C-alpha cells in the first residue's frame, strides 16, 4: 500500500524570524512523504530569502509569492498547487513534534468516515521548553464546534473536502477562519478525531492575529459564523439560547466585580472633581 503524500502549507507574513524553526520541525518529521509549500503573502521582510534557502536544502520545500490577501487567501493559494491527498496547515511561527505526521496520517488512512484528525497541543513562550498552557480538545462532530473551536488550525484533513466546501473563506480577514472551515466540513456528517498526544506546539505571542481577534473582533466574527451556518444553530436553538444566556450572566458578573473593586471606586472618587468641572462649564455656557 502506497503512503499518501501530505502537503504542508506554511503562509508567512512578517514572520520570517520564526520561519527557520517552523520549517526545521517539518524537515525533522519521521514521516517522509510530504511536500511543504511556503506561501509569501506579500510579506515586507526577508521571507523570500529564508524560504529560498530551505528550497535549496530539500527539494520537498516549494515557494510561491503572492500579493497580500490575508491568511485564508494564502492557505488557499498554497493548497491550490499542492499535490498531496492530505493537507496540514502550519503557521510560520508554530512547531511540529517530529512524530506528528507519522501519528496522524494512519488515522485518515484507516478511518474513511474521519475528515480531520488533530491532537493535544502545548502553548509555548519563546522556546518550546517554556510551556505556558495546554489544550486538550474534545468531541468528534460539528455539534462540539458550534460554540467553541475544538480544533487548532494545524490539523490534518482530506484535500477533497477543502474543494467541496470552497476552501477557506477569504472574506474572514479578522480571524477564526479555521473554525468556520471545520464547521463547513463536518456539518455534512464527517467526523473529526483527536489523538490524545501532545504533537503540536503553538507559539503564544503578545501580538498575533488570534490575540487581536479575541480582544477586538470576537463578537462580530462569531456573528458571521452563526449567520453563515444558521441552520445548525436553529436546529440547536434551545442549547444556543442557554449558551448565550450564560455568556451574558458571566459578562454581567464580571462588570459587577469591576464596579465593586477598590480600583474602580477609587477612580470614581478621583474623577469626581473633573465631572463637577464639566458640569460647571456646561452651566456657564447655558
**Residue 220 pLDDT exceeds 80:** yes
**Residue 56 pLDDT exceeds 80:** yes
156 versus 267: the higher-pLDDT residue is 156
Cα–Cα distances in angstroms (integers) from residue 82 to residues 20, 34, 35, 43, 79, in the given order: 21, 10, 8, 21, 5
Report the DSSP pairing between strands 156-158 and 86-89: antiparallel
pLDDT score for 101: 98
The residues, ordered by sequence, that sit 6+ positions from 252 with a Cβ below 8 Å of its Cβ are: none
**Residue 47 pLDDT exceeds 80:** yes
Cα–Cα distances in angstroms (integers) from residue 253 to residues 163, 240, 245, 266, in the given order: 44, 20, 12, 20
Average confidence (pLDDT) over 51-67: 97
Average confidence (pLDDT) over 200-226: 77
**Residue 126 pLDDT exceeds 60:** yes
Name the pLDDT band for 249 (thresholds 50, 70, 90): confident
Average confidence (pLDDT) over 243-255: 81
**Residue 60 pLDDT exceeds 80:** yes
| In contact, 57 and 23? CB cutoff 8 Å | no
Average confidence (pLDDT) over 1-20: 89
Chain position carrying cell 489523538: 195
For the chain, which residues make up each domain, given as ranges?
6-207, 239-285
Q: CA 122, 127, 133: angle at the middle one, nearest 5?
A: 25
Checking phi first, is residue 70 left (phi over 0); if not, alpha (psi -120 to 50) or beta? left
Name the pLDDT band for 229 (thresholds 50, 70, 90): very high
Name the pLDDT band for 267 (thresholds 50, 70, 90): low
Residues 31-40 have pLDDT tens digits of: 999 999 999 9
pLDDT score for 285: 46
- Tell me the C-alpha distance between 128 and 165, whole Å: 34
Name the pLDDT band for 182 (thresholds 50, 70, 90): very high
Q: Could you say which of 3.50.50.60, 3.30.9.90, 1.10.3720.10, 3.90.550.10 is the CATH number of the domain covering 6-207? A: 3.90.550.10
Provide, rounded to the nearest whole percent, the portion of the chain with pLDDT above 90.
Answer: 77
pLDDT score for 165: 98
Q: Which of 88-92, 249-253, 265-269, 273-277 has the highest mean pLDDT?
A: 88-92
Chain position carrying cell 477612580: 267
**Residue 208 pLDDT exceeds 60:** no
**Residue 265 pLDDT exceeds 80:** no
For the four alpha carbons of 187, 191, 196 and 199, in that order, the dihedral sign comes to negative
**pTM (two decimals):** 0.85
Neighbours of 4 (CB within 10 A): 14
Name the pLDDT band for 1 (thresholds 50, 70, 90): very low
Amino acid at each position: 500500500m502506497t503512503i499518501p503524500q501530505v502537503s504542508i502549507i506554511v503562509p508567512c507574513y512578517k514572520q520570517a524570524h520564526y520561519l527557520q524553526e517552523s520549517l526545521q520541525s517539518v524537515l525533522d518529521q519521521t514521516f517522509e512523504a510530504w511536500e511543504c509549500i511556503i506561501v509569501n503573502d506579500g510579506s515586507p521582510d526577508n521571507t523570500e530569502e529564508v524560504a529560498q534557502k530551505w528550497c535549496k536544502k530539500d527539494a520537498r520545500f516549494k515557494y510561491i509569492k503572492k500579493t497580500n490577501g490575508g491568511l485564508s487567501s494564502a492557505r488557499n493559494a498554497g493548497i491550490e498547487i499542492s499535490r498531496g491527498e492530505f493537507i496540514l496547515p502550519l503557521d510560520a511561527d508554530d512547531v511540529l513534534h517530529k512524530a506528528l505526521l507519522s501519528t496522524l496520517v494512519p488515522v485518515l488512512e484507516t478511518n474513511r468516515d474521519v475528515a480531520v484528525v488533530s491532537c493535544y497541543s502545548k502553548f509555548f513562550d519563546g522556546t518550546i521548553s517554556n510551556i505556558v498552557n495546554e489544550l486538550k480538545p474534545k468531541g468528534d462532530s460539528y455539534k462540539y464546534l458550534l460554540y467553541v473551536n475544538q480544533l487548532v488550525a494545524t490539523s490534518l484533513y482530506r484535500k477533497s473536502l477543502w474543494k467541496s466546501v470552497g476552501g477557506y473563506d477569504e472574506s474572514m480577514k479578522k480571524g477564526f477562519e479555521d473554525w468556520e472551515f471545520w464547521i463547513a466540513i463536518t456539518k455534512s456528517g464527517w467526523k473529526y478525531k483527536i489523538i490524545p498526544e501532545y504533537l503540536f506546539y503553538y507559539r503564544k505571542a503578545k501580538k498575533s492575529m488570534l490575540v487581536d481577534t479575541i480582544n477586538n473582533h470576537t463578537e462580530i466574527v462569531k456573528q458571521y459564523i452563526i449567520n453563515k451556518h444558521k441552520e445548525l444553530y436553529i436546529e440547536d436553538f434551545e442549547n444556543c439560547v442557554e449558551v448565550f444566556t450564560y455568556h451574558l450572566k458571566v459578562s454581567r458578573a464580571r462588570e459587577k466585580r469591576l464596579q465593586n473593586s477598590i480600583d474602580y471606586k477609587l477612580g470614581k472618587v478621583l474623577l469626581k472633581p473633573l465631572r463637577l468641572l464639566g458640569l460647571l462649564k456646561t452651566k456657564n455656557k447655558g
